[in-house]
């Protein structure tokens, strides 16, 4: 899938791949990286089959990514 330009598409792909059946079958991980020089936050989600990336420098998107990250963490912990 690659790089996604819209947060809603990234969120949908992450939640689909991060659901309980996919966690047990394929594994799932996401990485958050901040580039200070460019002022961009990049979040990458992969399950070794599909890799999706989203980058932003907007504070509103960063807050939404923080909520998504917390939601995915909660999902991973509760289904393991």
Concatenating the DSSP letter of every residue in 24-52 gives HHH--EEEEEEETTTTEEEEEEE-SS-EE
Q: What per-residue confidence (pLDDT) applies to 71?
A: 86
49 Cβ neighbours under 8 A, 6+ residues apart: 26
**Is the pTM value of this prediction over 0.85?**
no
Query: Which domains does the chain carry?
Result: 2-78 (3.30.720.10)
pLDDT digits (tens, 9 = 90+) for 12-58: 888 787 665 555 555 778 889 999 999 999 999 888 888 899 999 99
What separation in angstroms does the CA of 53 have from each of 15, 71, 77, 78, 79?
A: 14, 17, 23, 25, 24
Better-predicted residue by pLDDT, 62 or 78: 62
Q: What per-residue confidence (pLDDT) applies to 39?
A: 92
- Please name the residue that has the structure tokens 């420098």: 57
């Amino acid at each position: 899938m690659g790089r996604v330009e819209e947060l809603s598409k990234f969120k949908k792909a992450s939640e689909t791949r991060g659901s309980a059946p996919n966690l047990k079958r394929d594994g799932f991980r996401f990485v958050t990286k901040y580039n200070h020089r460019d002022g961009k936050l990049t979040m990458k989600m992969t399950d070794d089959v599909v890799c999706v990336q989203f980058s932003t420098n907007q504070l509103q998107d960063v807050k939404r990514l923080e909520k998504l990250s917390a939601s995915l963490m909660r999902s991973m912990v509760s289904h393991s």
